[in-house]
Amino acid sequence: MTIHMAGRDELMKQLMTYDFVEKELNLFLDTHPMDMKALEMHKSVAEKAMELRAEFVQKYGPISPNECRSLEKWCWIEGPWPWEN
């Protein structure tokens, strides 16, 4: 694996970790909407996930099509796709 891909994979793993915690808190809060501790955790995790996402998109390309901002080329369709290893 190239150093470039190693960095990409590591950053993606971090983002996936934060996104998962965010999702888990999302489900918990759906049934506990007044839980202050969970609300605080969700806020900080969501902010961290957003930062990691911005860093990933800037370095390695879009995760979602609305993050494609290049005026030269539509980079959304470029691989690798998530099912490709």
Partner 1 sequence: MWQYEKKLQFPINIKHANPKLAQLIISQYGGPDGELGASLRYLSQRFSMTDNVCKGILTDIGTEELAHLEMVSTLVHQLTKNATTKEIENSPFAQYYIDHGKGVYPVAASGQTFDAATFQVTGDPIADLVEDLAAEQKARATYDNILRLSDDPDVNNVIKYLRQREIVHFQRFGEAILTVSNRFLIEKIIVIKWITGACPAHGASSGFIVYINIL
Task: Identify whether the C-beta of residue 75 lies closer than 8 Å to the C-beta of residue 61.
Answer: yes
Contacting residue, 36, 65, 70, 85, with partner 1 by CB under 8 A: 65
Please answer whether residues 37 and 44 qualify as being in contact, where contact means their C-beta atoms are separated by less than 8 angstroms: no
- Specify the DSSP class assigned to residue 67: G
Amino acid (1-letter code) at residue 61: G
Mark the segment that binds partner 1 (CB under 8 A) among 5-13, 31-39, 46-54, 71-79. 71-79
Stretch that binds partner 1, among 5-13, 42-50, 51-59, 70-78 (CB under 8 A): 70-78
Residue 83 in contact with partner 1, rule: CB under 8 A: yes
Work out whether 78 is an interface residue with partner 1 (CB under 8 A).
yes
